[in-house]
Structure 1
Amino acid sequence: MSESNGISRRRFIQGTGLAGLAAAMPGVWMGNLAHASDLRVGFIYVGSRDDYGYNQSHASGARAIRDMSGVTVLQEENVSENVAVERTMESMINLDDVNLIFATSFGYYDPHVTRIAERYPDTVFRHCGGLWEESDPENAGSYFGYIDECQYLNGVIAGHMTRSKRLGFIAAREIPQVLRNINAFTMGARSVDPEIQTRVLYTGDWHLPTREAEATNGLADQNVDVITCHVDSPMVIAEQCESRGVYFCGYHASQADLAPERYLTGAEWNWEVPYRRMVEAVLAGETPEHFLRGGLAEGFVRLSPYGPAVTDGARRNADEIKEKMEGGEFVIFRGPLKDNQGNTVIAEGESHEQRDTWLERMDWLVEGVRN
């Protein structure tokens, strides 16, 4: 049975109340699946797998492990961050014999993943971005990438390319991961010119194309000449930037073909690396790391190729910093550092390395950010 058929069958059962029938008639529903592979892996997405963004980046990682020997991949898209994800996880376990679940959206973890993990101790659960703690179920865990490194480099490029000294950041929600990206982008830009400011607009949710278009045009009307974002699908933002003559730094995946003249570079995920690592651990009968993180050095994230408009000076500056990041010689969050209210958040002489979980609880914006 193909992945798409697995999805259709599961939704049909959920929608018609035939879960009991499916369990009672394995020859009809599960006969071809029971011995298909040694490991059955389920991926759950909050949006569409072809969104030019967050969900597409995870689906690319799923495709990579689908080709691994002994692995079958099942996927469910457009699953909301509420009890719907609990139903999807239970369906994958009970109907599809899934052994390993990757729940990819921020709002899935607490209480949904932790609750289902307690009910199904023999299933391995890994969540993207959750802050796993020892008090959480042993069969749960989290993984993420230090994409703020690429957002810092986005900012360096933006700092070289802006003429108005006004940058824009379109964000979905005020959560630590988003704030960390806003801060890194702004700090990268202000390392080029400390007079640069970043104007932030929040849309309120991960995928609201109309609000994203309005935010892009609103920033362009304010003479913002470089925009980046943290929303699930940057498609509309990239297209609007191209039409308005505003430079764009991408996010999640490459949107270069949507803005061929105005795309500068982008912060991309490379989920294939952590997914292979975790799947290989389970195949070997081992427990995947409960707190898996990596950045440029580990190959978890990458920078999009530079667009045609990027100057030689901007490329050299970004490449030099990127090389230091890859060598573990560059710390983004180091003091002295103030927030945009004038408070010292990192004292002089102090620094926070990427694996410091203090950064994953970030609730402030750096100097230079206007929201």
Structure 2
Amino acid sequence: MTLSSARRTPTRRHVTSLLAGAAIAGLALSACTSATESDAGAGESSSGAAPGEGATTVGFIAVGPQDDFGYNQAVHDGIRAVAETHPDLEILEAYNIPENDQAVEALQTMVDQGATVLFATSFGHLDAAQQVAEANPDVAVLHQGGLIDDTSPENLGTYYGTVYEPVYLAGIAAGAATETGVLGFVYGYPVPQVVANINAFTLGAQSVNPDVETIAVSTTSWCDPATQADRAASLISQGADVLTQHQDCTKTIIEAAEAAGVYSVGFHADASELAPQGWLAGSEWDWTELYPSIIDTVVDGDFIGSEYDANYRGGAANGNSPFVPSTLGASVTPETKALIDAAQTELESGWTPFTGPIMGQDGATPVIPEGTALTSDDADQMDYFVAGVTGNLAG
């Protein structure tokens, strides 16, 4: 993966956080050696420098534990890459930070300890990121996955990947493997990126098995192993012979599928070692190039007006996606691999799985008309399920 300097024109859109969050409370900062009080208020920059310019300390907050075998572990791996590429930077880390006012407190604590670059890495941290950016104009604040517009603080940017693309590819593997025609999808909350993933997975499966059904069920949590196990068992009892998920911690569902003798499709991390028999495919985060690139841009004083000072999305077409396909399982046939490779080539050419006509859940009403192809910004606002998905947006 090569980070190119040529990007689409940044755009800003604002999305209010949809999540209240119910993560474990607690703030554990590491590598804290400085304690510079931030006296910049909600007005003008106090230094005259660009936000984060010349930064010596950077802070990261995550909604879950660093060893969740999923989303937050990938964040942790990205932070380790920053430590290797920027050995002179002091790095502050805080895990298990809920998506509420505790996130504001955690981020502001890092500012008070000298951080002038902040990463808020969960969808529900967007409100906190906006508040802290407004209160600290000298600080560059980056949010993982949100959308902002011109009403947002100038020193706030978002970044993410077109996550639905590798999920579509994994759907092809699932559609080719299922014998019952029923796929199970366990998700946390019906936020746009999750909805887009459920739809893309279904569309990928339908590209090889038009009659496939995806049963989508919510846990109303990013990580609740007991509820995940319950949802997995329920899906299997309904005939699902492939299970996938959009959960932060992924181990429970992968292991439940393996124990039941059904296939699994991973998310956030390569969990193939947990399912030697049933692993089909998956998608995983690789922040090891994007985090350092963002930090370089900020430290050099080039954040304002850069691709990262907006809604940056890396994807297959620009070759810079931080979300990539995982290892294919041994049971994936050469024919299915060829279909996946062909679809990957299409994605790299600029094609999107959200190209109309695509029908809504009723199978009759177009949600994406013929001749329309959604952009990544469009997908980041998706609030409907496509035909073939059983479930509702309330979970």
Please tell me the TM-score bracket, short chain as reference: 0.7 to 0.9
Determine if the alignment matches structure 1 residue 346 to structure 2 residue 368.
yes
- Would you say the 8 A contact 2:63–2:121 is kept in 1? yes
Q: How far apart are residue 358 of structure 1 and its match? A: 2.2
Distance 1:9 1:144, change over 3 A: closer
Task: Please give the TM-score of this superposition, normalised by the length of structure 2.
Answer: 0.83
Higher normalized helix content (fraction of residues): 1
1:243-285 C-alpha deviation (Å, 9 max, x unpaired):
0011111001111111121111111111123212211101222
Q: How far apart are residue 8 of structure 1 and its match? A: 5.9
Match 1:94 to one of 112, 121, 126: 112
Gaps of 5+ in 2: 1-26, 38-53
Moved more, 232-241 or 338-347: 338-347
Amino acid at match of 1:293: R
Moved over 3 A (4+): none
Match 1:145 to one of 128, 149, 161: 161
Q: State the alpha-carbon separation in 1 of the partners of residues 380 and 55 from structure 2.
A: 35
Distance 1:194 1:175, change over 3 A: same
Determine if the alignment matches structure 1 residue 125 to structure 2 residue 141.
yes
Q: How far apart are residue 39 of structure 1 and its match? A: 2.5
Q: How far apart are residue 323 of structure 1 and its match? A: 2.0
Distance 1:298 1:79, change over 3 A: same
Q: Secondary structure at the match of 1:305?
A: coil
Match 1:42 to one of 46, 59, 70: 59
Matched residue, 1:54: 71
- Number of aligned residue pairs: give it: 340
Write out aligned runs for 1:190-339 (5 A). Answer: 190-287=206-303, 288=306, 289=308, 290-296=310-316, 297-328=319-350, 330-339=351-360
Determine if the alignment matches structure 1 residue 66 to structure 2 residue 86.
no
Q: Secondary structure at the match of 1:194?
A: coil
Q: Secondary structure at the match of 1:272?
A: coil
1:120-145 C-alpha deviation (Å, 9 max, x unpaired):
11011000111011110011111111
Q: State the alpha-carbon separation in 1 of the partners of residues 80 and 348 from structure 2.
A: 26
Identity of matched residues, %: 36
- Would you say the 8 A contact 2:120–2:142 is kept in 1? yes
1:44-65 C-alpha deviation (Å, 9 max, x unpaired):
0000011010001111111111
Amino acid at match of 1:242: E
Task: Please give the TM-score of this superposition, normalised by the length of structure 1.
Answer: 0.88
Q: State the alpha-carbon separation in 2 of the partners of residues 255 and 9 from structure 1.
A: 30
Determine if the alignment matches structure 1 residue 107 to structure 2 residue 124.
yes
1:160-197 C-alpha deviation (Å, 9 max, x unpaired):
10000000100101111110000000000001011001
Question: Quick one: higher RCO (CA 8 Å, sep 6+), 1 or 2?
Answer: 2
- Would you say the 8 A contact 1:167–1:226 is kept in 2? yes
Determine if the alignment matches structure 1 residue 82 to structure 2 residue 85.
no
Q: State the alpha-carbon separation in 2 of the partners of residues 143 and 321 from structure 1.
A: 25
Amino acid at match of 1:308: A
Q: Secondary structure at the match of 2:29?
A: helix
- Would you say the 8 A contact 1:42–1:75 is kept in 2? yes
Q: State the alpha-carbon separation in 1 of the partners of residues 355 and 72 from structure 2.
A: 32
Q: Secondary structure at the match of 2:270?
A: coil
- Would you say the 8 A contact 2:163–2:193 is kept in 1? no
Distance 1:6 1:272, change over 3 A: same
Gaps of 5+ in 1: 11-21, 25-36
Moved more, 319-328 or 243-252: 319-328
